Amino acid sequence: MSAASLPQAPEDVDGRDKPDHDGQGVNSRTARAYTLTIWGIALGILIQAVATVAWALAIGNAQLFKDGVDWVYDVALYGIAAIVFGRDARIERLAAVAIGAVMAVAGLHTLYDLWDKVVRPRPIEVWTLGFAAASAIVIAFLVVGALWRFRREENPVIKATWLSSRNDTISTTGFALVGLAARVAPVRWPEYLFDLVVAGICFQATWAIWRSLRRSVDSEASQTGLRNKAQTDATGGL
């Protein structure tokens, strides 16, 4: 888009420029910066995913391959956040459905990987598994660093991604270390139990999103019914 086609900045009644906004209470400059940051995060994680999957295929490591594919879910979630930002409530609900679907697929993928591990036990490779854990921790800190400048914004999408990334710097670190310990344990049951917990978390998130959407739809339907009844009663009383 050329500069000539951009809308002119609105003016206040006293002739001074008034900042325009994109989204809920976010000025256009911050909105553009946030959108670029989110897309940058999604692209960066996608590059990490492709590199990890390529390495896994090159060395024939199924566990590393699964770790690489897992990054795709993060790419999808940050991509959805970038698409939804600044949109209306209908788009936000569709995005919530998409996020729930992504989490459900992640849970099914984890269960499939668990089944594959039981059928075809995998050798323990500390270096590659350690790389997967270390890369998860590093990326979590890079993401929170990229979103640091937006930590005081009140827009719900921005706040959600910031709080999520902030919490991930703690939870991902612990999760990655616990997962690494389970995978390199001398017995296999801690790793299998860990996979079941991961799948359960994914399905719980899907269920929570679905329930939230149902409550939102039911609430809107109830409010619409009350408004229609009030209008009918008012008309009948004329």
The pLDDT tens digits for 180-215 are 787 777 777 877 888 888 888 888 878 877 887 777
Return d(Cα 106, Cα 206) in angstroms, integer: 10
- Candidates 76, 71, 94; CA nearest to 84 is 94
pLDDT-derived band at 2, boundaries 50, 70, 90: very low
Residue whose tokens read 């139990």: 193
Confidence grade of residue 233 (pLDDT, cut at 50, 70, 90): low
Closest to 56 measured CA to CA, from 125, 8, 109: 125
- Residue 159 burial (CB count, 10 A): 15
Least confident stretch, 55-59, 175-179, 214-218: 214-218
Q: What is the pLDDT of residue 12?
A: 40
Reply yes or no on whether the pLDDT at 229 is more than 60. no
Q: Which residues pair with 17 in a beta bridge?
A: 11
Most confident option among 3-12, 22-31, 61-70, 118-127: 61-70
pLDDT tens-digit profile of 117-157? Answer: 788 877 777 777 788 888 888 998 999 999 998 888 877 67
Length of the chain: 238
- pLDDT for 19 equals 42
Region of 121 please: left (phi>0), alpha (psi -120 to 50) or beta: beta
pLDDT at 37: 93
pLDDT value at residue 58: 93
pLDDT over 90 percentage in the chain? 12
Question: What's the per-residue H, E or C state across the chain?
Answer: CCHHHCCCCCECCCCCECCCECCCCCEHHHHHHHHHHHHHHHHHHHHHHHHHHHHHHHHCCHHHHHHHHHHHHHHHHHHHHHHHCCCCHHHHHHHHHHHHHHHHHHHHHHHHHHHHHHHCCCCCCHHHHHHHHHHHHHHHHHHHHHCHHHCCCCCHHHHHHHHHHHHHHHHHHHHHHHHHHHHCCCCCHHHHHHHHHHHHHHHHHHHHHHHHHHHHHHHHHHHHHHHHHHHHHHHHCC
Handedness of CA 214, 217, 222, 225 (dihedral sign): negative
Between CA 204 and CA 78 the distance in angstroms is 20
Question: When comparing pLDDT for 232 and 2, which is higher?
Answer: 232
Q: Is the pLDDT of residue 6 over 70?
A: no
For the segment 59-85, the average pLDDT, to the nearest whole number, is 85
Q: Which of 38-47, 67-76, 93-102 has the largest mean confidence?
A: 38-47
